[in-house]
Amino acid sequence: MRDALLATGRPIVYSICEWGYFDPATWAPAVGNLWRTTGDIEANYGSMLSIFHANAGLAAAAGPGAWNDPDMLEVGNGMRFTEDRAQFSLWSAMASPLLSGADLRSASPATFSLYLNSDVIAVDQDSLGKQATEISASGGLDVLAKPLSDGGVAVTLFNEGDSRQTISTTASAAGLPSASSYKLTNLWTKELTTSSGGISASVPAHGVVMYRVAPGSGSSTGTTHPLLGSSSGRCVDVNGASTTAGTAVNLWDCNGGSNQGWSFTSAGELRTFGGTQCLDATDNGTTAGTKLIIWPCSGAANQQWRLNADGSITGVQSGLCVDVTGGDKPAGNVNGTPLELWGCNDGANQAWSLKG
């Protein structure tokens, strides 16, 4: 079949499927372009995890025009948001074919926030063609490093377990050259940070944090961006563009207005309107359901926020997360939906990114 396809003189991708029964990674690169390495995937975390384990050790077989195929993406087919994000990240790190198994005609904004992440897709499609290797795997805490054509490395921290864990590695362990500092680009939150060599994050259960790492430096602190919600595809918005203290903060279609520009400061504030107003928990509230408003910046504890590596934003005073009210359902993600504090739950309605 290989020879017959080559004889046509036309570019044709040849996919081989024998479900990994005969160790295709040892012979298929000379025959086709991609080869199934496992049995069929199912839309559950256990199946995804098992297939990841089977495929992760086959990195040596992959290269430009030749890819291990751990079956389709189940993103949008019923796994939790963190599990969907994990599969999309892991498959991209492993240079796998990204074939959607979901009906995209009815996919949610949360699902599209994963499928349309061009930075993660760029890791999968990188011209160097290398599959990530596991540089650490202990106790269900996995670190994958994928060399990239620009000299950088994509580093994926994966927590297989059922509770949040801190996962750490170093630029040296990931294969990067010695440097005085490294720029870390979080591929899901879009936040830039600088490290002297350590790469570490608190990773949710069944979740990932994914960085693009290169020598250099960078910081998102003090820069202004819209905050994009994963569950809605909409932006954090000051209602009616009003600068009046106490105005509600809600969701609205992203429009580039000054009432949608937010800046994390070195003091932990989230400033808007050119830095004149701050995101504020109403009346110093620390309970679930406390509404978010703007208020003149005062340095108070209820105006202190932290953008976490998983995309959640935590109130320092309350320990609760910035949440789209009722955003776990489509009706809760419409224009005008208020933002509030709520217990952190790793849901898409608590996942945010810095919009370019």
φ, ψ (nearest 5 deg) of residue 283:
55, 35
Residue 24 has pLDDT above 90, yes or no: yes
Domains: count for the chain: 3
User: Over the stretch 161-188, which tens digit does the pLDDT of each residue have?
Assistant: 999 999 999 999 999 999 999 999 999 9
Does residue 32 sit in the same domain as residue 117?
yes
Does residue 235 sit in the same domain as residue 265?
yes
- What is this structure's pTM? 0.97
End position of a domain, from candidates 145, 180, 215: 215
User: Over the stretch 189-243, which tens digit does the pLDDT of each residue have?
Assistant: 999 999 999 999 999 999 999 999 999 999 999 999 999 999 999 999 999 999 9
The arithmetic mean of pLDDT across residues 128-150, rounded, is 98
Does residue 186 sit in the same domain as residue 236?
no
Does residue 144 sit in the same domain as residue 49?
no
Q: Contact at 8 Å (CB) between 218 and 192? A: yes
CATH number for the domain that contains residue 169: 2.60.40.1180
* Residue-level pLDDT at 330: 86
End position of a domain, from candidates 96, 124, 152: 124
End position of a domain, from candidates 194, 215, 236: 215
CATH number for the domain that contains residue 308: 2.80.10.50
The arithmetic mean of pLDDT across residues 11-15, rounded, is 95
φ, ψ (nearest 5 deg) of residue 301:
-65, -30
The arithmetic mean of pLDDT across residues 58-71, rounded, is 97
Does residue 185 sit in the same domain as residue 240?
no
Does residue 64 sit in the same domain as residue 178?
no
Does residue 259 sit in the same domain as residue 329?
yes
Bridge partners (DSSP) listed for residue 329? none
Across the chain, what does the average pLDDT equal?
97
Residue 152 has pLDDT above 90, yes or no: yes
Determine the residue type at 195: S
Does residue 115 sit in the same domain as residue 189?
no
φ, ψ (nearest 5 deg) of residue 247:
-65, 140
* Residue-level pLDDT at 324: 97
Does residue 228 sit in the same domain as residue 345?
yes
Q: What percent of the chain has pLDDT over 70?
A: 100
Q: For residue 94, which of 23, 47, 34 has the smallest C-alpha distance?
A: 34
CATH number for the domain that contains residue 54: 3.20.20.70
Residue 356 has pLDDT above 90, yes or no: no
pLDDT-derived band at 292 (thresholds 50, 70, 90) equals very high
Does residue 162 sit in the same domain as residue 204?
yes
Q: How far apart are CA 33 and CA 157, in angstroms?
A: 28
Q: Identify the domain containing residue 160 by its residue range.
A: 133-215
User: Over the stretch 320-349, which tens digit does the pLDDT of each residue have?
Assistant: 999 999 998 888 899 999 999 999 999 999
Q: What percent of the chain has pLDDT over 90?
A: 98
Does residue 203 sit in the same domain as residue 228?
no
Does residue 333 sit in the same domain as residue 253?
yes
